[in-house]
Amino acid sequence: MHRTKVKVVEEALDANNTIASANRADFDRAGVKVVNFMSAPGAGKTTLLERVVADLPGVRVGVLEGDVQGSMDADRLASLHVPVTQLNTDQGFGGECHLDANMVRSAIPALPLDEIDLLIVENVGNLVCPAEFRIGEDTRVMVTAVTEGEDKPLKYPLMFRACELVLINKIDLLPHLDFDLDHLLYNIDQVHPDVERIILSARTGEGIDGWREWLLRVAAREQVAA
């Protein structure tokens, strides 16, 4: 026996990225903009969507709801009369912790792409894994809640760097917390300088207009090649 070295030099995630590009091509053909919406569990993704999806003038919204199990989030959004497609990840190893391009690909036939202009993909709650896997989105948005602490950008830099917009949620709780908002903003700026940020509360509605307008601007963007 002898040993042969074979040079490969290939990104291991190329396969995922190839499928993501195919997804993106399908979305582009249908004229649908796609937002990959991510956060830790309980940061308020679903509530932030409830606040805006039924109130985007001239933009028809659909939601793809990624969850390890169940359809609670999908049911909440469906009650607002927007088309919601559920994508559970619990096949195989008791639930994937993120959506990947292939899972989204498998959901495309169930999506009403002809009836929507903007698809928001609510990823599985997790600050690590979803940042690694492109799904064919136009843009990535994350939520960080003030209850999570100021240090999260430093602990999860990949996620904070992957996103074009950071929503800072639950600011109605600031009076009850030992939380330094300036310190969080400083840490975000260290990890992702000049990233767009919106400070808001899904509960009181403060700052929600900025979130709504941001989505309207995404929906109005010129299509660019993936």
Partner 1 sequence: MHELSLSSAIVNTVVKHAADRRVAVVNLRVGRLRQVGPDTLEFYFEFVARDSVCEGARLNQEVVEARLRCNPCGLEWGIELPAFRCPTCGGSDVVVASGNEFEVDSIEIEEAECIAPR
φ, ψ (nearest 5 deg) of residue 83: -70, 125
Q: Does 14 bind partner 1 (CB under 8 A)?
A: yes
Rounded Cα–Cα distance for residues 7 and 144 (Å):
41
Q: Applying CB under 8 A, which of residues 65, 67, 96, 150 lies at the interface with partner 1?
A: 96
Which helix (H) or strand (E) element contains residue 168?
strand 165-169
Q: Applying CB under 8 A, which of residues 121, 191, 202, 218 lies at the interface with partner 1?
A: 191
Q: Which is nearer to partner 1, 49 or 127 (CB)?
A: 127
Rounded Cα–Cα distance for residues 151 and 149 (Å):
6
Q: Which range, of 6-14, 46-54, 61-69, 169-177, touches partner 1 by CB under 8 A?
A: 6-14
Closest distance of CB 7 from partner 1, Å: 5
φ, ψ (nearest 5 deg) of residue 75: -65, -40
CB burial of residue 197 (10 Å; 0-12, 13-18, 19+): middle
Query: What is the footprint of partner 1 within residues 127-156 (CB under 8 A)?
Result: 128-129, 132-133, 153-154, 156
Q: Applying CB under 8 A, which of residues 59, 68, 80, 97 lies at the interface with partner 1?
A: 97
Tokens for 214, please give them.
């941001």
Closest distance of CB 159 from partner 1, Å: 9
Q: Does 27 bind partner 1 (CB under 8 A)?
A: no
Nearest to 159 by CA among 170, 148, 147: 148
Q: Which is nearer to partner 1, 74 or 148 (CB)?
A: 148
CB burial of residue 202 (10 Å; 0-12, 13-18, 19+): buried
Residue 164's SS3 state is coil
Q: Which is nearer to partner 1, 9 or 225 (CB)?
A: 9
- Alpha carbon distances (Å) from 117 to 50, 61, 111: 17, 6, 12
Print the binding letters for residues 50-89 with partner 1: x by CB under 8 A, - otherwise: ----------------------------------------
Q: Does 194 bind partner 1 (CB under 8 A)?
A: yes
Residue 23's SS3 state is helix
Binding-site ranges for partner 1 (CB under 8 A):
1-16, 93, 96-98, 100, 128-129, 132-133, 153-154, 156-158, 161, 189-194
